[in-house]
Homo-oligomer: A and B are copies of this chain.
Amino acid sequence: MSDQSQNKTHPNKSRRSFLSGGVAVAGGVAATALGARAAVAAAPDPLITEIQEWNQVLGDGVDAAPYGVPSEFEADVVRRDVPWLTADPISSINFTPIHQLDGIITPNGLCFERHHGGVAQIDPADHRLMINGLVDNPLVFTMQDLMRFPRENHVYFLECAANSGMEWRGSQLNGCQFTHGMVHNVMYTGIPLKLLLQEAGLKSNAAWLLPEGADASGMTRSVPLDKALDDCLVAFKMNGEALRPEQGYPIRLVVPGWEGNMWIKWLRRIEVGDQPWHHREETSKYTDLLANGKARRFTWAMDVKSVITSPSPQMPITHGRGHTVLTGLAWSGHGRIKRVDVSLDGGRNWQTARIDGPSLSKSLHRFYHEFNWDGSEMYLQSRAIDEFGNVQPTKNELRAARGDNSIYHNNGIQTWQVRTDGETENVEIS
């Protein structure tokens, strides 16, 4: 739409006076981007001078949509599944369209889904949460009982352990929605799990929990007690409203920073024991097969990771050379992100990206890098570093440590090739 010949830098004095007046971003970055002249000088624009339909026609009233929906022009901003990935859609995954989102909050309707027996549709009036096993008083809570306990609010990312799993053997899926879209980030309202366990009273040998889902798959995972007492929640709201059915309505377990499979949805029971159960989902699945053929026992925390969401294969550069906004997401299951580096040349040179918006522990972070694209080929990479100094590795570093038998826990650096025409592809460079 814009005219490339006008995308030149036109520094001017009045602009500088603004910068000295307190631009929030780093001066150098802003000065570059501000020189974009992306805007067209107001020569007569037919869309301004002509009367547009929406300026002349009355729209829907306030009674039209009690629960609102997106614009019809956003119909392609949806979760997508890849039918050939799994045998059946009721035990499958779909992917958050992270390439089309900005900021750090994922809207509830776009949070990726992973279920093993389809989406349970539970009537909260008939739902119960039982705590049994090594407790003084086995308890059964109604939803109303739970609403009488103190609540907390936290923004946490949830990442499936298999996110980016196809990338172990090289680039296969062309788009960050598919390579990195098994992640979402919402504000949860929930009851600290420790308060419910305390209500039941733990026996002295209590050391592990087995949360269990009420869906047809009856999902279970062993969770160490220390984690439960640290920061786990029994959540009932996401982004202010009730959990969505596909996210465990009416209640789910929140296990901050740890792999999504442990965040048991449709939570119906928590058994307290003295050792892990080694059920199916923590043995034959969700373990990391190493180069020697042995499986690593329990990999819970999701390591420091990042991805550039635009430009990316589904978000090519369509405006031609000149001022370009690169953006992406970074996260760590250990805490906050401290820094994100960006490379345009496949990891030879790195620049520090600008992290913007709230920086919260175990939450997605949004980063930007504004630059002047000269129209030449690029190899885009991002590398995140968390507050504990953990650095996102290259895929080859991961393979050197673990072989290439793995599916889960791939936090390697991703590469997008941007061609001279702006088209972008998932590539691997050694």
Contacts and interface: CB of A to CB of B under 8 A. Distances in A.
Contacts of A113: 62, 68
Nearest to A35: B199
A429 interface: no
Interface in A13-33: 14-15, 18-19, 21, 23-25, 29-30, 33
A54 B201 contact: no
A12 B126 contact: no
A350 interface: no
A138 interface: yes
Contact of A120 (B15, B54, B130): B54
A100 B147 CA distance: 12
Given A39-B141, A41-B137, A150-B25, A67 B239 contact: no
Contacts of A64: 89, 119
Stoichiometry, as copies per complex, reads: 2
A370 B151 CA distance: 10
Interface stretch (A190-198, A251-259, A410-418): A190-198
Interface string A305-328: 000000000000011001111010
A271 to B, nearest CB: 12
A54 B109 contact: no
Contacts of A132: 42
A118 interface: yes
Interface residues of A, number: 156
Given A71-B245, A142-B2, A149-B33, A54 B214 contact: yes
28 contacts: A1-B143, A2-B145, A19-B198, A36-B149, A39-B141, A41-B140, A45-B128, A54-B120, A54-B266, A58-B216, A60-B90, A62-B94, A66-B79, A67-B78, A68-B111, A71-B121, A73-B122, A77-B242, A100-B241, A102-B240, A103-B187, A103-B189, A104-B153, A105-B186, A105-B240, A107-B239, A151-B327, A153-B356
Contacts of A60: 90, 118-119
A155 to B, nearest CB: 7
Given A21-B229, A79-B66, A101-B240, A325 B14 contact: no
A244 interface: yes
